């Protein structure tokens, strides 16, 4: 009973049964647009980040369709043909060449080609098959940003000088930032020496880093004042950040920015100097610049102290009403006040892996989600072993069922879990133990 087409945001796409793996709950999520919903924490966080990159230098894109080609999502960015991200176990495909974007970078090439402004910001929903827990959901939100300079439009073609002038205009913050020098590494994180001068990379890298530091200072200052409002004993410590080397197929050199928050180093964003091939392929070879990408959901959780990513998808007024009016006055934020949780129902499932096909944990997670929906709070591996004689492999997981609005009776939880087991047998060929 394979459906021949799927409609997403009003457009119909032909599906291919060999590739199609989009569950209906995920397809339905494409219509939610949480990043545009007034007074939704995802939208508020988007708005706050945007305010660090003002128009007209930056142009905002917020309604790009989540359906893109494999070319846009991977090839245009230089991902190798055998990159793991392309696997059906990691990505939602509509057909062989059409998928739900896994990151906002899928729009980089097209946005550079459109060449409408010096900079741009893209806010959008992105889709990845993944584990189930408090910080992972198959749909989340990203913000992509880029800024470019035009060699033909800067005085004497001296891009470095023009960029340093811009760097001087950026706010100077009294914060602790670790930024080990030199900023690149010839082997692991090289300059694109066919295209760029050292002076240009230094200038663009500094502009990138100072711009993103300013954004993070703004965001965490708001998070801290919300924390202080909720708890007058909150100890305000100096904000610490550090730049670490990173790798992305479409930037070089590349970095990640980490922030020290509540006792942990937290990875906030990835970024780098845009690979010149992107500008060349986009028909703007005389441009050069930087790009970054970050996850909005995790920052929104931190900003408002929201304990579980599933809450963003809740229509419960006890959640949504707490943010009423914030879009219009985002200068003073309040933390989320958790409403009482209902008790969880814990069930185990243990099974032998099939011998005749591969087992992908993400497929397993998805079967559980397809039945339990947002009532599945977490799925956790607790045992894994190989039989010494037969070589057969066994796995055992805890499944935590918990609803936000009621207690599951023992019978309901049993019934749900029975359905899960039956579907695992039917869909994945698992043998229950
Ligand atoms: N798209 C990358 C990710 O999802 C982030 C990124 C964007 C890195 C732009 C560099 C430049 O991890």
Q: What is the largest CA-CA distance in the chain?
A: 76
- 34: nearest Cα among 147, 137, 134, 145: 137
Residue 375 CB neighbour total at 10 angstroms: 21
Is the domain covering 32-66+101-328 a CATH 3.50.50.60 domain? no
Domains of the chain by residue range: 32-66+101-328, 345-432
| Chain centroid, CA 90 distance in Å | 14
Asked, colleague to colleague, whether 32-66+101-328 and 345-432 share their fold, the answer is no
The class level of CATH for 345-432 reads alpha beta
Report, as an integer, the average pLDDT of 320-324. 96
CB 35 within 8 A of CB 62: yes
- What atom of ligand 1 comes closest to residue 270's alpha carbon? 8
Bigger pLDDT: 288 or 406? 288
Mean pLDDT of 235-241: 88
Atom of ligand 1 nearest to the CA of 142: 4
Residue 364 CB–ligand 1 contact under 6 Å: no
pLDDT in tens, 74-102: 999 999 999 999 999 999 999 999 999 99
Q: 331 pLDDT exceeds 90?
A: no
DSSP character string of 263-332? TEEEEEEEEEEEPHHHHHHTT-TTEEEEEEEEEHHHHHHHHHT-S-GGGGG---HHHHGGGTTGGG-TTS
pLDDT at 181: 66
Token pair recorded at residue 203: 């200038």
pLDDT at 237: 83
CB-based contact 380:397 (threshold 8 Å): yes
**Pocket of ligand 1 contains residue 105 by CB under 6 Å:** yes
Q: Of 173-182, 272-281, 291-300, where does mean pLDDT reach its minimum? A: 173-182
Reading the block at residue 306, the tokens are 């929201």
Q: How far apart are CA 227 and CA 203, in angstroms?
A: 36
Which spans in 69-191 are helix H? Answer: 70-73, 108-114, 159-169
Phi-psi region of 263 (alpha: psi -120 to 50; beta: other; left: phi over 0): left
Instruction: Give per-residue pLDDT as tens, 339-358.
Output: 888 999 999 999 999 998 89
Q: pLDDT by residue (tens digit) across 102-156?
A: 999 999 999 999 989 999 999 999 999 998 888 999 999 999 999 999 999 999 9
Kindly indicate the confidence band of residue 172, based on its pLDDT and cuts at 50, 70 and 90: confident
Give pLDDT tens digits for 191-210: 999 999 999 999 999 999 99
Indicate whether 298 pLDDT > 70.
yes
What is the mean predicted confidence (pLDDT) over 48-62?
97
Tell me which residue has its CA closest to atom 7 in ligand 1.
293
Over 80: is that where the pLDDT of 180 sits? no
Check whether 186 has a pLDDT greater than 70.
yes
Q: What is the mean pLDDT of the chain?
A: 94
Pocket test for ligand 1, best of 248, 268, 272, 298 (most atoms within 8 A of CB): 248
ipTM above 0.90, yes or no: yes
Is any atom of ligand 1 closer than 6 Å to the C-beta of 145? no
Q: What is the pLDDT of residue 2?
A: 65
Tens-digit pLDDT profile for residues 18-36: 999 999 999 999 999 999 9
DSSP bridge partners of 398: 348, 380
Verify whether ligand 1 is closer than 6 Å to residue 271 (CB atom).
yes
Distance from residue 104's CA to the centre of ligand 1 (Å): 8
Closest CA to 60 of 17, 10, 129, 120: 120
Q: Round to the nearest angstrom and report the end-to-end CA distance of the chain.
A: 31
């Amino acid at each position: 009973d394979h459906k021949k087409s799927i409609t997403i945001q009003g457009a119909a796409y032909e599906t291919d049964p060999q590739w199609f793996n989009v569950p209906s709950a995920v397809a339905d999520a494409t219509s939610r647009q949480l990043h545009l919903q007034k007074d939704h924490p995802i939208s508020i966080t988007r708005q706050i980040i945007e305010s660090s990159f003002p128009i007209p230098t930056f142009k905002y894109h917020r309604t790009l369709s989540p359906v893109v080609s494999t070319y846009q999502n991977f090839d245009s960015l230089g991902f190798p043909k055998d990159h793991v991200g392309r696997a059906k176990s990691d990505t939602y495909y509509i057909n062989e060449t059409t998928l739900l974007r896994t990151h906002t970078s899928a729009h980089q090439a097209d946005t550079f080609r459109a060449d409408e402004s010096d900079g741009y910001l893209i806010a959008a929903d992105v889709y990845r098959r993944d584990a189930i827990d408090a910080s992972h959901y198959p749909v989340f939100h990203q913000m992509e940003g880029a800024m470019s300079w035009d060699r033909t439009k800067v005085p004497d073609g001296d891009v470095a000088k023009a960029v340093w002038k811009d760097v001087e205009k950026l706010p100077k913050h009294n914060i602790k930032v670790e930024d080990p020098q030199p900023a690149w590494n010839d082997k692991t994180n090289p300059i694109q020496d066919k295209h760029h001068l050292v002076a240009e990379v230094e200038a663009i890298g500094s502009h990138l880093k100072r711009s993103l530091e300013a954004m993070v200072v703004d965001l965490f200052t708001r998070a801290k004042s919300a924390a202080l409002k909720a708890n007058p004993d909150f100890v305000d410590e100096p904000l610490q950040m550090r730049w670490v080397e990173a790798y992305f197929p479409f930037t070089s050199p590349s970095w990640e920015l980490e922030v020290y928050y509540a006792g942990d180093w937290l990875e906030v964003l990835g970024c780098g100097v845009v690979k010149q091939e992107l500008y060349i392929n986009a028909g703007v070879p005389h441009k050069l610049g930087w790009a970054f990408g970050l996850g909005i959901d995790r920052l929104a959780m931190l900003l408002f102290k929201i304990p579980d990513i599933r809450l963003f998808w809740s229509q419960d007024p006890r959640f949504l009403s707490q943010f009423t009016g914030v879009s219009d006055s985002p200068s003073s934020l309040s933390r989320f006040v958790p409403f009482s949780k209902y008790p969880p129902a814990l069930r185990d499932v243990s099974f032998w892996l099939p011998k005749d096909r591969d087992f992908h944990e993400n497929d397993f997670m998805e079967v559980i989600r397809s039945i339990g929906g947002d009532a599945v709070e977490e799925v956790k591996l607790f045992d894994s072993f190989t039989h010494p004689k037969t070589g057969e492999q066994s796995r055992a997981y805890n499944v935590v069922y918990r609803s936000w609005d009621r207690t599951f009776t023992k019978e309901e939880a049993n019934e749900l879990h029975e359905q899960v087991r039956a579907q695992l047998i039917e869909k994945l060929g698992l043998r229950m133990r």
